[in-house]
Amino acid sequence: MKQFKICVIGLGYVGLPLARLFATKYPTVGFDMNQARVDALNGGHDTTLEVDDALLHEAIDKHGFRCTTDIEEIRDCNFYVVAVPTPVDVNNRPDLTPLWRASETVGKVISKGDVVVYESTVYPGVTEEECLPIVERVSGLKFNTDFFAGYSPERINPGDKEHTVEKIKKVTSGSTPEIADLVDSVYNSVLVNGTHKASSIKVAEASKIIENSQRDVNIAFMNELAKIFNAMGIDTNEVIEAASSKWNFIKLKPGLVGGHCISVDPYYLIQKAQVYGVLPRVMFAARRLNDGMGAYVAHQVIKLMNKRGLLVKNSRILLLGIAFKENCPDIRNTKIVDIYSTLEEYTRNITVYDPWADAGQVYQEYGISMTNDLPVGKYDAVILAVAHEEFLRLDILTFKTKNGVVYDVKGVLPQSIVDGRL
């Protein structure tokens, strides 16, 4: 097989773990526009906590892995991997700006015979219709004649230390049958559980977008059930446990749908479907329902407080967690902000405690002041919003006033100590 020098463009939750893994077999350079991020990584620390410091130091010291913001340092690479975010704008329309800019970067350095593989989650057609024309235009090279492409959708699950990048089975694809084989062999060389080679780039793109859309729809159904059973005074967790006794029941739980994947990716397929004259009603409904769950939780807490005779106005509330999921510092698109903003209409005395999240990033992104230190005092409402390990060890009742309420968003606390939960 051809000797490759790999460059991974975008060193976030997806790009860095992949670059670290490639470095075990190939000369690898990581490229990112954020100088502070690059400096931290070259110093051996990943602030996202996806790559342990020991592994990062090993990649640097043993395998020669390095990161850079200098485009000249990636010019001699011949296998480029693009792993930049694919967000939506304020109107939930796909924002391809990071992909466009990354494609321009590739176009400035790609040479004849080189390969560029995209990992960013997109709707079918983005790689060939949006990205590769930019690479062609900037480089002056012809696609599938001078350079080639592939698509291998990322499957990183932030904070998951079991399904790490080397253990994930990856979907691969290429712009020609020969390139598909080549891309597949490169990924297979570093993966424990191998690959699934798709027949085309569009099939690979579509496979990724439906992974997250399926989860979004399934969770929306559980959230709708939670609303129904809460209105009936029935414990949703008990219903799920009872239903799970049947062999073919799929056990899922209600919850907030945040983060950069499940709450964002369906919008990419929704938009593209409408271009083809298809209105994805189920996906639309799931997105609306899931996006409203933060406000629903807040109103449930307010309802419980009213029943206890607690004055909601100017009450003291403790919100445990603001990261979008447990045991992870990732705050991207966290729906806990919706709980906060709804409650803030009634009181400004809201303490947000999260030992994982970066207080500076939270304030910069959401304008919310939070603390990494265990709070003191009593609160009229305590809301467990994230199931961090630290929270599961707390004596929650010590934080609430005599008539205070405890609300469990995650359904992990003993029923005996909670007043309400999804």
With vertex at residue 269, the alpha carbon angle to CA 81 and CA 287, rounded to the nearest 5 degrees, is 120
Question: Residues 7, 131, 261, 328: which is the catalytic one?
Answer: 261
Report d(CA 20, CA 27) in Å as an integer. 10
Contact 13, 32 (CB under 8 A): no
Question: In 10 A of CB 397, how many CB atoms?
Answer: 11
Report d(CA 23, CA 153) in Å as an integer. 19
Count the alpha carbons within 13 Å of 384 in the hemisphere toward its beta carbon: 29
Known catalytic residue at 131: no
Q: Which tokens sit at 400?
A: 């609430």
Contact 377, 384 (CB under 8 A): no
Whether the CA torsion 368, 33, 211, 6 is positive or negative: it is: negative
The CA distances from residue 320 to 177, 265, 324, in Å, are 51, 27, 12
Count the alpha carbons within 13 Å of 181 in the hemisphere toward its beta carbon: 4
Instruction: Name the pairing type of β-strands 66-68 and 420-421.
Output: unpaired
Single-letter residue type at 324 = F
107 burial (CB, 10 Å; 0-12 / 13-18 / 19+) is buried
Report d(CA 9, CA 15) in Å as an integer. 7
Spatial CB neighbours of 123, under 8 Å, sequence gap ≥ 6? 94, 205, 206, 209, 268, 269, 271, 272
Torsion (CA) 164, 166, 170, 174 in degrees, nearest 10: 140
**DSSP letter for each residue of 346-381:** T-S-EEEE-SSS-HHHHHHHH----BSSPP-S-EEE
Q: Which residues are tagged catalytic?
A: 261
